[in-house]
Amino acid sequence: MATWNPGPDPFPAGEIDRITDFAYLDELKFVRHAKVHTKKKPESLWQLSANFRARMTVHPEEGAPYALTIKAPRGLYTDLASVPQELWAIVGPIGRHLEASVLHDYLYMAWTDFRAKAVRRDWTFADEMFLQGMKVSKVRKRRLIHAVVRSPIGWAVFRKKPYTLKERMEAWLPDLAPGHGREG
């Protein structure tokens, strides 16, 4: 069985002023599981079949700007863009915002591998990265989408994790192995 190694902390060490030079480094690749369905949140049939990375320049409030690469790992389950079905007429789960949404989902879980408790600056970074990713993808409603994730609802989702990403990845990675339930 594969074991999860979270790699380096994807969050900046301190408060950030802004993010610039955002670029996606990989194609977004999924597997859609027809027979395997996770019963724990996030409930989803979509799983990353390859790592998905983005690079950016982080401008901290103090100190010099630096390059940062974040990686949503192979094996991560996602519900694509986490949009309630009632809002799909405005913004659906698939669209130009998809790549930024997957990285955002990853960051909303990743803090659990590096912190005992959620930290607001990590939440702020995740949401600002999301906005920059949507800007690069030319999402027209990005300010509206960003405002929703920056609401108290977004903070509640970020901080309330009944699991760690390590626990989830160790359960999810075997789903990519041969015989994981996709056949027949």
Q: What is the pLDDT of residue 11?
A: 96
Q: What is the pLDDT of residue 80?
A: 75
The more confidently predicted of residues 155 and 88 is 155
The pTM assigned to this predicted structure is: 0.86
Which two structure tokens, joined as six digits, stand for 62? 């103090």
119 pLDDT band, cuts 50/70/90, is very high
Tens-place pLDDT, residues 46-91? 788 899 999 999 999 999 999 999 999 988 887 776 666 666 667 6
Q: Are 146 and 126 in contact (CB under 8 A)?
A: no
Residue 130: closest CA among 112, 146, 151: 146
Q: How far is Cα 150 from Cα 128, in angstroms, rounded to an integer?
A: 9
Q: How far is Cα 70 from Cα 72, in angstroms, rounded to an integer?
A: 7
Residue 96: closest CA among 40, 142, 60: 142
Q: Is the pLDDT of residue 169 over 90?
A: no
Tens-place pLDDT, residues 5-33? 888 999 999 999 999 999 999 999 988 76
Q: What is the pLDDT of residue 182?
A: 44
Q: Is the pLDDT of residue 131 over 90?
A: yes
The more confidently predicted of residues 184 and 15 is 15
Q: Helices (DSSP H) in the chain: which residue ranges? A: 98-110, 120-136, 142-149, 152-159, 165-172
Q: Are 26 and 139 in contact (CB under 8 A)?
A: no
Q: What is the pLDDT of residue 84?
A: 62
Which two structure tokens, joined as six digits, stand for 87? 């809002």
Q: How far is Cα 146 from Cα 89, in angstroms, rounded to an integer?
A: 17
Q: Is the pLDDT of residue 128 over 90?
A: yes
CB atoms within 10 A of CB 26: 14
Q: Is the pLDDT of residue 40 over 60?
A: no
